[in-house]
Amino acid sequence: MIHNFNAGPSILPREVFEEASVAVLNYNDTGLSILEMGHRTPEFTAIMEEARSLVKELMQLDEHHKVLFLHGGASTQFMQVPMNLLNPKDTVAFADTGVWSSKAIKEARLFGKVEIACSSKEKGYTFIPNDFAVPNDARYFHITTNNTIYGTQWKSIPQTSNVMVADMSSDILSRQLDFNSFGLIYAGAQKNMGPAGVNLVVVDERILGKLKHQIPTIMDYRYHIQEESMLNTPPVFAVYVCLLTLRWLKKMGGVAAIEKRNQEKADLLYAEIDNNELFTTSVQKHDRSLMNVCFAAKNPEHEKMFLDFTVANGVYGIKGHRLSGAFRASLYNAMPLSSVQLLVELMQTFSQSVA
Ligand SMILES: *Cc1c(COP(=O)(O)O)cnc(C)c1O
């Protein structure tokens, strides 16, 4: 058995893979593959509607917040968000907390004036800044709620008078937040809610339509809202697999229940990192991510040894990102506690064996 700690694309529930593979051969006894069905058929329209309404239910969204499934990864949103929200002379504020924030900043600069409200760059992105200065006139304040590469996470959402925009790619649907307090939330699906190839966008429609110029139709959220994510052919299979994952999440008890499980998994692993003589982490305690646990061997010679040892025991994907190095164990919603227990046991066995 493989225990998949990959950062993304990443683990999904086993039953989702099973149902998805049946649908590839014969969707719901229609005799058709999900891959060859028209997207305007009653079958697919029902899939899209249910996926949207499950997101609304699980995130407890009000009537102003619209749910969209759009093409492209989160990187497309780095461009599409400022394209929809900024006039050329507008200011936008960013929290710079890692690689993904920096990439979002780079794209926003093409559409307006960027102010960096805070940054943790100088300390290698090992913490979440707790003082930030957001200009009052900033059209929105953008944060990356979970920093996939550095393993930090905003535990509470900054309170400012500005519209909040968040990249939640790697912690979407993993914990309870007041999602209605955001103007816009986006997430590439492949970390915590489905396969690559689709984005979830939740947007408060009241923040749209304030541009003095036109933008291309396919980029304009308002047309996607109007056409209920069917402005053009949606990524049908990716949306279907998201639906299966959303159903699974609801069955598990929803966001509150999964948050409890996620906390338990992360607590177990961080406790081992803190207690085990061989391992360490540079991520500040208060800001540690529940989703991506970054850690290292104190002795660099142990790094490859431990990696080989985990691979030999069915643990897949804990090699760290090329930028942050060492190890990263991603504990997304679908990761069972038993796999985290196994990883902890391997850390213990390894430290006894080299002691
Ligand atoms: C993975 C990731 C992205 C990039 O997603 P793509 O779908 O590859 O464009 C952006 N932001 C965060 C926080 C991520 O984890």
Say yes or no to pLDDT of 325 above 80.
no
Does residue 170 have its Cβ closer than 6 Å to ligand 1? yes
pLDDT per position as a tens digit, 250-298: 999 999 999 999 999 999 999 999 999 999 999 999 999 999 999 999 9
Does residue 171 have its Cβ closer than 6 Å to ligand 1? no
Mutate to test the pocket of ligand 1, among 102, 148, 171, 190 (most ligand atoms within 8 A of CB): 148
> How confident is the model at residue 109, as a pLDDT?
98
Per-residue confidence at 348, pLDDT binned at 50, 70, 90? Answer: very high
> How confident is the model at residue 322, as a pLDDT?
72
Please state the CATH superfamily assignment of the domain spanning residues 254-354 in this structure. Answer: Aspartate Aminotransferase, domain 1 (3.90.1150.10)
Mutate to test the pocket of ligand 1, among 6, 75, 152, 169 (most ligand atoms within 8 A of CB): 169
What is the arithmetic mean of pLDDT over 311-331?
A: 90
| Boundaries of every domain in the chain | 14-251, 254-354
Q: What CATH code is assigned to 14-251? A: 3.40.640.10
Per-residue confidence at 321, pLDDT binned at 50, 70, 90? Answer: confident
HEC letters along the chain: CCEECCCCCCCCCHHHHHHHHHHHHCHHHCCCCHHHCCCCCHHHHHHHHHHHHHHHHHHCCCCCEEEEEEECCHHHHHHHHHHHHCCCCCEEEEEECCHHHHHHHHHHCCCCEEEEEEECHHHCCCCCCCCCCCCCCCCEEEEECEECCCCEECCCCCCCCCEEEEECCCCCCCCCCCHHHCCEEEEECCCCCCCCCEEEEEEEHHHCCCCCCCCCHHHCHHHHHHCCCCCCCCCHHHHHHHHHHHHHHHHCCHHHHHHHHHHHHHHHHHHHHHHCCCEECCCCHHHECCCEEEEEECCCHHHHHHHHHHHHCCEECCECCCCCCCEEEECCCCCCHHHHHHHHHHHHHHHHHHC
The pTM assigned to this predicted structure is 0.97
What is the arithmetic mean of pLDDT over 155-177?
A: 97
